Amino acid sequence: MLKKQLCFFLILQLCSVIQLKAQSKSAEGLKDYYKNYFPIGVAVSAHDIKDTAEVKLILHEFNSLTPENAMKMAPIHPEENRYYWKDADAIVAFAQANGLRVRGHNLCWHEQTPPWLFKGADGKQVTKDVLLKRLKDHITTVVNRYKGKIYAWDVVNEAIDDDSTKFLRNSLWYQICGEDFIAKAFEYAHEADPKAILFYNDYNTERPEKRERVYRLLKKLVDAGVPINAVGIQAHWSLDEPSQQDLIATIKKFSSLGLKVQVTELDISIYPWEKNKRTLRPGETDAYTPELEKKQDEKYAEVFKVFRDYKNVISGVTFWNISDKRTWLDDYPVEGRKNYPLLFDQQLQRKKAYWSVVDFKQ
Ligand code: GLA
């Protein structure tokens, strides 16, 4: 009888230990699991930080924010003599109030530019001198406003051409200024806030042809003494890209220049990478099957293992959007197609991939 009672007591004890463990697991967020590695961030809109369910999740899981769109040139500087600060200010204030760091995104990009930027009052394209002056005014004003509150800036975004046989993208920035606009953007940002960590940020950087071209640009900047400190691997990935080998090669190659590396816009699409807009093809579905979920789970586990292995050079990992409830990949580039690229589902619950990312034994 005594033996039976003892057994029962031991089982009870064991159960409560297991329960406690499970509770303490869910009490931790991504930022806690990764506290000895790097900050874990998320891209947000001003709306995201007003919604209580999202706010709770953000504060539980993340310790860094990137404004998804609010600091891009078109939204923040819609007219030459007018800035729109409301959304950007709200995100920075929210971060400050809750002790989160902020990455600024971005200062110079060929997309989401305001209509006035490349044109003079006569409607003609501006000269290089005028455009560089506008760039300087923009960067100085924006960086100054958030000095001491934004610790890192994506200074130049996506300056490499999509065509693998070409080097720099033939954007209006390039057509008007030649390649000078890149170095100048870094100089202006550094002048405005010498303490900010300055990034070049781009996508598909794990593909060998793109990696080489990004490296060529970075090396040129570093050799010329341009104040660049780090490189952002955007990481808009998919189920079969990048390979572990290509990811490691990119991290090693970029960091060999003495630059820090951050994963700045992570998501793992359940579809292969494509860029041109189109509509759904007949018979094409957007079902999130268990098989796709499993593959995504494995990919997440694989890339986070690499991030942990290279924690000495990786200084941050940021997800691009909070949950599968809303992602920029819905309808992009395929109209009418839903995507499921993140660690939280449409009800903001942790997906299987979440548990793989925080399981360091894998
Ligand atoms: C690029 C930009 C981001 C964002 C994504 C799509 O990666 O750097 O700001 O626009 O495209 O959301």
Q: What is the pLDDT of residues 28-46, one digit of tens each?
A: 999 999 999 999 999 999 9
A 10 A CB-CB count for 321 gives 23
Does residue 313 sit within a domain? yes
Does residue 160 sit within a domain? yes
pLDDT band at 27 (very low <50, low <70, confident <90, very high): confident
Q: CA 272 from chain center: how many Å?
A: 19
158: annotated active-site residue: yes
Does residue 16 sit within a domain? no
Please write the tens of the pLDDT for every residue from 108-142.
999 999 999 999 999 999 999 999 999 999 999 99
68: annotated active-site residue: no
Q: Are 228 and 196 in contact (CB under 8 A)?
A: no
Please write the tens of the pLDDT for every residue from 199-232.
999 999 999 999 999 999 999 999 999 999 999 9
Does residue 98 sit within a domain? yes
Please write the tens of the pLDDT for every residue from 297-337.
999 999 999 999 999 999 999 999 999 999 999 999 999 99
Q: How far is the CA of 254 from the centre of ligand 1 (A)?
A: 21
Does residue 260 sit within a domain? yes
Does residue 10 sit within a domain? no
Looking at the 3D structure of the chain, how many domains does it have? 1
pLDDT at residue number 8: 53
Does the pLDDT of residue 64 top 90, yes or no? yes
151 lines ligand 1 (CB under 6 A): no
Does residue 9 sit within a domain? no
Does the pLDDT of residue 271 top 60, yes or no? yes
Query: Which amino acid would we find at residue 255?
Result: S
Angle at alpha carbon of residue 341, lines to 94 and 25, rounded to 5°: 65
267 lines ligand 1 (CB under 6 A): no
Does residue 332 sit within a domain? yes
Please write the tens of the pLDDT for every residue from 137-178.
999 999 999 999 999 999 999 999 999 999 999 999 999 999
DSSP for 126-162 reads: PPHHHHHHHHHHHHHHHHHHTTTT--EEEEEE--B-S
CATH number at residue 226: 3.20.20.80
Q: Which of 265, 291, 293, 335 is catalytic?
A: 265
Q: How far is the CA of 257 from the centre of ligand 1 (A)?
A: 25
**Domain span holding position 36:** 30-271+283-358
Q: Which of 54, 68, 158, 206 is catalytic?
A: 158
Alpha helices in the chain, H assignment, sequence order:
2-27, 30-33, 52-61, 73-76, 86-98, 128-145, 172-177, 180-192, 208-223, 244-255, 290-309, 352-357
pLDDT at residue number 54: 97
For 343, the token pair is 């660690």
In angstroms, rounded to a whole number, what is the distance separating the alpha carbons of residues 335 and 329?
A: 10
